[in-house]
Amino acid sequence: MDNQLQARLLPLRERIDALDEQILDLLNQRAKAAQDVGKIKQELDLDGPILKPEREAMVIRRLQSLNAGPFTDQAIDAVWSQIISTCRGLESVLTVAYLGPQGSFSEQAALDHFGHAITRLRCDSFDEVFRAVEAGQADVGMVPVENSTEGAVNRTLDLLLSSPLKVLGERSIKIHHNLMTRSGTLDGVTRVMAHPQALAQCQAWLTQHHPGLPRDAASSNGEAARIAAQDPTVAAIAGTMAAQAWDLQVVASGIQDDPQNRTRFLAVGAIETLPTDNDKTSIILAVPNRAGAVYEMLAPLAANGVSMSRLESRPARTGQWEYYFYVDLLGHHKEPSVAQALADLKKQVAFFKVLGSYPRQ
Ligand SMILES: O=C(O)C(=O)C[C@]1(C(=O)O)C=C[C@@H](O)C=C1
């Protein structure tokens, strides 16, 4: 390199080294402060959770509001999620249950949301995720609830209905699917495997590019990747984390039919989340099967100025064309307007359950 350029580079690199030393010192000061917070929390409530979702959301949002750049708000979320994860881990390590195996999108959502300083509990099904958290084997679970192409994840909705766990957070991640094999080619490949949701999200691409290739369902995309790593006749559809985890080569990337394909995950656990200034509340309702019932069901929301961000229905399995309605509201159930709307709703519906309030992503 040109000597003059070298001379300009050197002081900048020295400055970065000096700044990194300061950052390191500050990170260690922060970690010690978090450890002290942890001790106080233990004195206050020995069995209480270390995880405070509302505090974590507020720490990140405050920094984003102070941020003058060029560091992006997205980078603040990614970096401070890791910092908080490490600090939390020094207080007590959080065990997170999710649908495995290694490299699944659920794993990515869990790591994005809770950071890397966690104990990973990989489960074989969504039912097992709920069971693990309910039994105290894991502190929290991370489950997909809706996809922008395929809609609701029905098993999660059913489990939310019957489980005593609370929703304590949400995380939406971009779902970027790749076709991958051991060799990086489709030579000798006789079938493609993925979770049914992923096969559905890539169906137009598969039909256009590989119309004759049989499609087989796997329990997860990570599981499909695990199989493809052992069986050269199988191509898997999964994310890049799975390619790394199972040492697979990408044959085609970004094969999802919708380039903006996203999945929203919910964090569940036995933790009540306190209000921040920007929350959501998820509830389940059922109304009698008669004309106007759904319209009336939602009237208390409008009357109290509460916005709805999502409405989903699931058959109640009574054979009577009755449904459970899954509603997401803006606001925390402890906010007066939301509390009033919920109290009014409760009086007029046949079934009412608050799944939880949590910081809005
Ligand atoms: O403020 C707390 O309660 C902490 O334990 C500190 C901290 C953090 O690192 O900022 C860590 C874990 C909690 O979930 C929330 C915040």
Identity of residue 238 = A
Task: Give the whole-angstrom CA distance, residue 196 versus residue 24.
Answer: 45
- Report the Cα 335 to chain-centroid distance in Å: 25
Among 260, 293, 316, where does a domain finish? 260
Q: Is 74 within the bounds of a domain?
A: yes
∠ CA 257-258-260 to the nearest 5 degrees? Answer: 150
Choose the catalytic residue: 105, 126, 130, 265.
265
pLDDT tens for the chain, 361 residues: list them: 688 889 999 999 999 999 999 999 999 999 999 999 999 988 888 777 899 999 999 999 999 999 999 999 999 999 999 999 999 999 999 999 999 888 889 999 999 999 999 999 999 999 999 999 999 999 999 999 999 988 999 999 999 999 999 999 999 999 999 999 999 999 999 999 999 989 999 999 999 999 999 999 998 898 999 999 999 999 999 999 999 999 999 999 999 999 998 999 999 999 999 999 999 999 999 988 888 888 888 899 999 999 999 999 998 877 777 889 999 999 999 999 999 999 999 998 989 999 999 999 9
Beta carbons of 94 and 118 less than 8 angstroms apart? yes
Atom of ligand 1 nearest to the CA of 84: 9
Atom of ligand 1 nearest to the CA of 51: 14
Which has the closest alpha carbon to 142: 124, 129, 157?
A: 129
Domain at 221, CATH number: 3.40.190.10
Pocket of ligand 1 (CB under 6 A): 34, 37-38, 51-52, 55-56, 59, 84, 87-88, 91
The CA-based diameter of the chain, rounded to the nearest angstrom, is 82
Residue nearest to atom 6 of ligand 1 (CA): 34
End-to-end CA distance of the chain: 45
Burial label, 157 (beta-carbon count in 10 A; 0-12, 13-18, 19+):
middle
Task: Give the whole-angstrom CA distance, residue 171 versus residue 167.
Answer: 12
Among 260, 286, 308, where does a domain finish? 260
Q: Is 146 within the bounds of a domain?
A: no
Q: How far is the CA of 259 from the centre of ligand 1 (A)?
A: 36
**CB-based contacts of 148, cutoff 8 Å, min separation 6:** 258, 260, 261, 262, 263
Task: Give the whole-angstrom CA distance, residue 159 versus residue 162.
Answer: 5
Q: How many domains, in total, are found in the chain?
A: 3
ipTM associated with this complex: 0.98
Q: How far is the CA of 282 from the centre of ligand 1 (A)?
A: 24
Atom of ligand 1 nearest to the CA of 41: 3
Q: How far is the CA of 129 from the centre of ligand 1 (A)?
A: 24
Q: Are residues 238 and 281 in the same domain?
A: no
Tokens describing residue 177: 């699917």
Q: How far is the CA of 97 from the centre of ligand 1 (A)?
A: 20
Query: What does DSSP say about strands 94-99 and 118-123: parallel, antiparallel, or unpaired?
Result: parallel
Atom of ligand 1 nearest to the CA of 87: 9
Atom of ligand 1 nearest to the CA of 91: 5
Q: Are residues 349 and 321 in the same domain?
A: yes
Burial label, 312 (beta-carbon count in 10 A; 0-12, 13-18, 19+):
middle
Would you say the C-alpha torsion 122, 74, 89, 274 has a positive or negative sign? negative
Q: What is the pLDDT of residue 150?
A: 84
Residue nearest to atom 8 of ligand 1 (CA): 84
Q: Are residues 355 and 281 in the same domain?
A: yes
Q: Domain range for residue 346?
A: 274-359
Beta carbons of 121 and 97 less than 8 angstroms apart? yes
Q: What is the pLDDT of residue 47?
A: 75
Tokens 């020295």 identify what position?
14
Q: How far is the CA of 55 from the centre of ligand 1 (A)?
A: 6
- Catalytic-residue membership of 119: no
Q: How many Cβ atoms from other residues are within 10 Å of residue 77's Cβ?
A: 16
Q: How far is the CA of 281 from the centre of ligand 1 (A)?
A: 22
Q: Are residues 250 and 324 in the same domain?
A: no
Q: Is 355 within the bounds of a domain?
A: yes
To test the pocket of ligand 1, the residue of 39, 40, 52 to mutate (highest count of ligand atoms within 8 Å of its CB) is: 52
Q: Are residues 196 and 250 in the same domain?
A: yes
Residue nearest to atom 9 of ligand 1 (CA): 84
Q: Is 87 within the bounds of a domain?
A: no
**CB-based contacts of 314, cutoff 8 Å, min separation 6:** 152, 154, 157, 158, 161, 323, 324, 326
Q: Which helix (H) or strand (E) holds 152?
A: strand 151-152
Domain at 33, CATH number: 1.20.59.10
Q: How far is the CA of 34 from the centre of ligand 1 (A)?
A: 6
Q: Is 95 within the bounds of a domain?
A: no
Choose the catalytic residue: 95, 181, 263, 273.
263
Q: Are residues 246 and 302 in the same domain?
A: no
Task: Tell me, letter by letter, the H, E, C secondary structure of 240-255.
Answer: HHHHHHHCCEEEEECC
Q: Is 143 within the bounds of a domain?
A: no
Cis bond before residue 101 (omega within 30° of 0): yes
Tokens 């959770």 identify what position?
49
Tokens 């958290």 identify what position?
133
Beta carbons of 331 and 279 less than 8 angstroms apart? yes
Tokens describing residue 130: 């709920």
Domain at 342, CATH number: 3.30.70.260
Number of residues in the chain: 361
Helix (H, G, I), strand (E, B) or coil at 134: helix
Residue nearest to atom 10 of ligand 1 (CA): 84
- Catalytic-residue membership of 265: yes
Q: What is the pLDDT of residue 303?
A: 95
